[in-house]
Structure 1
């Protein structure tokens, strides 16, 4: 039963990676051909703003690709679950926003690169909310420690408690 789940995850990961690579190939080829043949677009902005998407795609490929034993062709590792939430989901979002930006820039002009500013803004928002949650957890831990030590300080008279 567990082997079937691993095989299903391996198939889903392979399909997701295949679709991701085909989409990247289509979008980037379309941009380069359109930019070279019809209307000039900023290749410098394209390269700079596409680097995070290429890095995310490389990470998804290296962690999510199923591994097979070459001699027996049996599944060694199904790879990380590419449908998982969290950082994996954010990496897919970075890739999709980059694709949308590239397509819009291809047809409407360089000012559409402003759409890509959603990526760092969303990352800053998530990081700030994560930082706030960490501070809240630290505050709860500190409050729990004060309650534990406060219970031990009740012994003794009032003058001793004020001195502590």
Structure 2
């Protein structure tokens, strides 16, 4: 069983991508059918296009990133990247799910639900600020945060504390 893990990843990526495309197709088709046939005045297409474009872009990115490729004789050339990876991939799945939820809510409840999509950029800014704060805190004195005790006197914090209390007292027996 050569490359068993790659073949498993390829099969999982293929099924995930196919399922994602089918769900997207069903959600968008339902929205468009309801907006064109049932409730003509209730729906607007500009918010729909503005909110659907990032999700469609993410799906195209996932397709190019994770779709396995095979050689002419059917051997696996590339399994694709893992769609369950942490970090940016996880965030893109969140945006995709949130877009689906907003489109479903707009279909069921009306155009006011487009405002829920504003949570995506707000969450992104919040996430970036948290990451920036962690990086800045992790850099310590490298980001111009001031001089530490070690830089001032060449001593460790423990040595500075002991000297402040009167120095190290040595007892001889």
Same fold (TM over 0.5): yes
In structure 1, C-alpha distance between the alignment counterparts of 2:2 and 2:111, rounded to whole Å:
50
Deviation at 1:122, TM superposition (A): 1.3
Change (3 A) 1:128 1:91: same
Deviates more, 1:71-80 or 1:134-143: 134-143
Q: Among residues 61, 64, 67, which one is paired with 1:65 in the alignment? A: 67
Deviation at 1:148, TM superposition (A): 6.7
Correspondence 1:51 to 2:53: yes
In structure 2, C-alpha distance between the alignment counterparts of 1:61 and 1:3, rounded to whole Å:
22
In structure 2, C-alpha distance between the alignment counterparts of 1:2 and 1:141, rounded to whole Å:
48
Change (3 A) 1:149 1:17: farther
TM-score of the pair, normalised by structure 1 = 0.84
RMSD: 2.1
Equivalences for residues 93-104 of structure 1 within 5 A: 93-104=94-105
| Partner in structure 2 of residue 160 of structure 1 | none
Structure 1 residue ranges without an equivalent (≥5): 153-164
The higher radius of gyration belongs to 2
Structure with greater helix share of residues: 1
Structure 2 residue ranges without an equivalent (≥5): 156-173
